[in-house]
Chains A and B, each alone.
Chain A
Amino acid sequence: MRRGERVVVTGLGAVTGLGVGWKSLWSGLCNGHSAIRRWQPEGMDDFPVKYAAPVDMAGLAQHYGSAAWWDVPMERRTRFGLAAAFEALADAGLAPAELPRRSGIAMGSGVPERDPADMHLALGPDGPDWRLLHRRADQLNPNSGLLNSNDHLSMSLAQSLGICGPSLNFSTACAGAAHAIGHGMRMIRRGECDLMIVGGADSVLNLPTMIGLHLLGAPSTAERFGDRLCRPFDRDRSGFVAAEGAGMLILEREDHAHRRGAQIYAEIAGFGSGMDAYRISAPHPEGLGARLAMQRALRDAQLDPIDVGHINAHGTSTPLNDPAETLAISSTFAGGEHYRQLTVTANKSMLGHLIAAAGAPECIATVLSVADGIVPPTLNLDNPDPACHLDYVPGTARRQILRAALSNSFGFGGLNAVIAVKAYD
């Protein structure tokens, strides 16, 4: 395999239910704070899904309300993504005018946000008619996904920053952001770009999308545990908890980062993906595609399994994912029973599931675990499922010096992606 330049992380940005900014994210995760709270879709009080991890829009407006882009109509996810990207650039010490010419963008996004009221415009006195909807097009919600294609974030960012390099949007369900980060790394490594803004943004906290997820039985409808509902690897887990937000990373070619004296958090050393080829609505029970993705990420990063000390798990708190991921990790790190030495954490126990964006804040957490030597805990793991037998760092963060770590993201339908992060020295 051809080896090119090392790719390093020089900037971070995040908007999550834990607050605005990556420091809020990292502090919240390390201190075991949960963003999950009681939630209902706008205008409803009896929706079966009772908990979610929404972004505090008032808090976001305090930070970015004066920005030129704030008043432009856009989906929630685009707003989160722009905020996180601008934070990441500032964190990297880069003004837009200082971006290298060969800069690019790679984003992960999911299902467009829809406003069901838009279709009301089709209703006339004689019933619905497409002609009416089209004649009233100027009344469509400009913040709705009906008018915003799902590359809106990547192109809004390109236009805001004057970027004329590649602008890619990945659609691999819950692995979208991980794909964007992995492919962004490869675009630098292959010499296509010197700098990439990578990550993802998503918001499923709208009625049409939540109905669709609920009908698939994916989010938990339980109320028994209150805001401790997201319980990855616990025997009482009952589904994921939906969330929204964004995470962004600035990736640079190592020599480019050095030349401008940038801080370096860690190296994105490898990426791997793999398909379950099993069922459309369930993961492979032994985590086949997940295992292949981890193995490919290790090979791509030229890491031996024993080099890895920590895994930031996909850990959704769904009945099927968690044991399958446990098996995938166990088989990937079976040599010398290394899986017994690994710390495995599930950020979703605090953040909820950011769906297409999930891989981005989780990759940020993995980068910071490697950089700071701290592994955040898995919350609410009161009664471990006997099928989940790894060290999930229950309850409290732990200090751990790490040479390398993996960040797992597994998309609906068995589309899996894994990022390998190495300590930078």
Chain B
Amino acid sequence: MTGIARVKLHLPHLHCAMGCDWEDVWGGLGSPTVPGLAPWPDELMSASAHIAREPELSPYGVDRKLVRTMEKQARMALAGAGRLLDAWHPGAGSVAERAETGLFMGLPTIDEPLPGLAVLESWHAYGGRDDWNATLMRETPPFSGLSLLNSSACAHIAATFGLNGPIAAYSPFADAGLSALIDGVHAVAEAECRHAVIGAVSTKLDPLQPLQHAYWGSGGAERQRLPGEASAFLLASADAARNDAVLLGYARGCHSTHDDRGDTVSDLIGQTLEMGGYARTSVGWVLSNQPWQAAHKESLSRALFAFAPLHLPIETRFGYVGPAAATLGVGLVLEGMRRKRRWLTQGTRWEALPMDAPCSLLVMHSPMGQVAVALIGRAGL
């Protein structure tokens, strides 16, 4: 698997509540913005959420009618990918290269009440006398079949930016975002394409989310959990030069019971480091999601034994962003490598310290039990 270490990871771009520019976001990590008001009654979950501003899609020539068929997560994905592709190849000269460019994405499920509350309101206003199925047929938006299909986000990106390369999309949690990274890098390493756009997006904020979080069973922790909206993208390209950021190793697995959670995470971290040829002490920065669950913290501590590298719980700043946690994490690592800095938490205080170790480790958990781990460092060291 050494081929993956020849694939350069670069051009991270994001769209999140903290902004769309890494300068703002990196600087803002120390003094985060105040979250907005979540679109659901405050008794259900946290009343706050990290709400991303509505993406501006007009620069990409997307028809307004088409935009109306897209859920916010598809719009955030399109904006994130667009910003990356603009930075990579501004102007028309990029078309030929894009034709051989792949797309690998982590996608959430689309949560949308069926029927919507407005339909229920009109049904109620008529005293519930209308035939329910007929109401549903009459009131369902004509493009709902398109809007509610999560992979439409990929199709919009491909159609808007002219990508004809290989494609894969994974869902629905943070491990899916890391799978997009792993397989996208492999696609480049195995010469399936010279470049791969790799990205992930969170679900849009919706009042169904608190129900689902409660069902996934975080033992009441959902009340402390701030949901967020974000998309984050990067590019994987062939022929990494010395010191370019690369994926050094990875491992994927799942714990089929709660009891084996720590063993699974420990095994996967061990496999990842072995694949990359690094020891635990080479890891200078660990970024993970779902840090508010005691079981996750415990499993991470067990996996890293007494060695405790600086740990960044991504979602304490960005909110619960599902698959996007993975590519946001990769973006933070790439930015950190560029700046030679890393953020860490000391209780509630955040501090940026020098990045003095060769590797960073991403550990992505899903509420259903999947775990994906990735090791990122510099090529040729």
- Chain A residues within 8 Å of B, Cβ to Cβ: 1-2, 41, 43-44, 47, 104, 109-112, 114, 116, 119-120, 122-123, 127-128, 130-131, 133-134, 137, 140, 145-147, 149-152, 155, 158-159, 161-173, 179, 183, 186, 190-192, 207-209, 211-213, 215-216, 218, 272-281, 288-289, 292, 296, 300, 411-417
Taking a contact as CB atoms under 8 Å apart, the answer to whether A131 and B44 are in contact is yes
| Contact sample, A vs B, 24 pairs, CB 8 Å cutoff | A1-B191, A119-B120, A127-B120, A130-B41, A140-B211, A164-B264, A167-B369, A168-B176, A169-B170, A169-B172, A171-B172, A179-B168, A186-B186, A190-B186, A208-B140, A211-B137, A274-B165, A275-B167, A292-B164, A411-B151, A412-B149, A414-B158, A415-B154, A415-B158
Please give the number of chain B residues whose Cβ is less than 8 angstroms from any Cβ of chain A in the complex.
Answer: 86
Distance A417 CA – B151 CA, assembled complex (angstroms) = 14
B168 to chain A, nearest CB (A): 6
Distance A255 CA – B26 CA, assembled complex (angstroms) = 49
Distance A4 CA – B133 CA, assembled complex (angstroms) = 54
- Asked if A111 meets B148 with Cβ closer than 8 Å, knowing A273-B166, A280-B156, A413-B155, the reply is yes
Q: Which residue of A lies closest to B250 (CB)?
A: A192
Distance A114 CA – B124 CA, assembled complex (angstroms) = 21
Chain B 43-91 residues near chain A, CB threshold 8 A: 43-44, 66, 69
A131 to chain B, nearest CB (A): 5
Please give, as numbers and ranges, the residues of chain A lying within 8 Å of B41 by CB-CB distance.
130-131, 134
Please give, as numbers and ranges, the residues of chain B lying within 8 Å of A165 by CB-CB distance.
252-254
Is B40 in contact with chain A by the CB < 8 A criterion?
Answer: yes
Is B21 in contact with chain A by the CB < 8 A criterion?
Answer: no
Chain B 184-200 residues near chain A, CB threshold 8 A: 186, 189-192
Is B370 in contact with chain A by the CB < 8 A criterion?
Answer: yes
For A171, give its contact among B117, B150, B254 (CB under 8 Å): B150
A293 to chain B, nearest CB (A): 8
Please give, as numbers and ranges, the residues of chain B lying within 8 Å of A149 by CB-CB distance.
109, 172-173, 212, 216, 367-368
Please give, as numbers and ranges, the residues of chain A lying within 8 Å of B136 by CB-CB distance.
116, 207-208, 211
Q: Which of B128, B166, B252 has the most chain A CB atoms closer than 10 A to its own CB? A: B166
Distance A112 CA – B257 CA, assembled complex (angstroms) = 24
Please give, as numbers and ranges, the residues of chain A lying within 8 Å of B132 by CB-CB distance.
116
For B133, give its contact among A43, A128, A145, A192 (CB under 8 Å): A43
Distance A104 CA – B251 CA, assembled complex (angstroms) = 12
Taking a contact as CB atoms under 8 Å apart, the answer to whether A122 and B120 are in contact is yes
- Asked if A166 meets B186 with Cβ closer than 8 Å, knowing A171-B151, A275-B165, the reply is no
Please give, as numbers and ranges, the residues of chain A lying within 8 Å of B335 by CB-CB distance.
none
Taking a contact as CB atoms under 8 Å apart, the answer to whether B257 and A159 are in contact is yes
- Asked if A151 meets B211 with Cβ closer than 8 Å, knowing A172-B154, A172-B169, A277-B164, the reply is no
